[in-house]
Amino acid sequence: MQASRGWSPLEMALGFLPCGVLIAVIAPRAGVLLGKVGARWMMFLGFVAYTAAYLLFLRIDVDSAYAPVILPTLLLIGVAFPLSFTGANVAATSGVAPEEQGLAAGVLQTGYQIGAALVLAVVTATMAVPEGEQPTLTAYHQGMWVIAGLSVVTTLVVALRSRADT
């Protein structure tokens, strides 16, 4: 965004601030929703929001206005993160013996780290820009298609698993 839209680091930080604010507001209150819908459905809601955000990101170009195009993507990510992570953490540790809670949480966090590294490698490869050239939004869109596809698959898996558990 800085390179293709000419945003300064401060403009970039302020542009992404709503996402962080939403996470800070929702995360401490996520337990209330968790009690109403359960961990897997909460993950599902989070991944629906992620998928929508990634698909909306594909609309962003160098001339896109912030409020109608970029902001909705950031707001959806701000909703998705606390829902999906809270649901996943609870699902990963539910039914686990108290003395094994740390192990279960550690396995989940390790999975997050390995998954993030693998996705980053694949997305980076799809966004490859010839040496010496500046990245473009087209390259970012290619990577976003990969992320959106993974998000759709994850959403479907969580939905099927949630449905099977009810």
Q: Which pLDDT value is given to residue 117? A: 96
pTM over 0.85: yes
Q: How far is CA 50 from CA 29, 62, 73, 79, 94, in A?
A: 19, 22, 9, 8, 24
Instruction: Answer yes or no: is pLDDT of 166 > 90.
Output: no
- Placement of tokens 């993950």 in the chain: 43
- Placement of tokens 């976003």 in the chain: 144
Q: In this structure, which amino acid lies at residue 112?
A: Y
Mean of pLDDT values over 66-72: 94
Q: DSSP letters of 47-78?
A: HHHHHHHHHHHTT--TT--IIIIIHHHHHHHH
Higher-scoring residue by pLDDT: 16, 61: 16
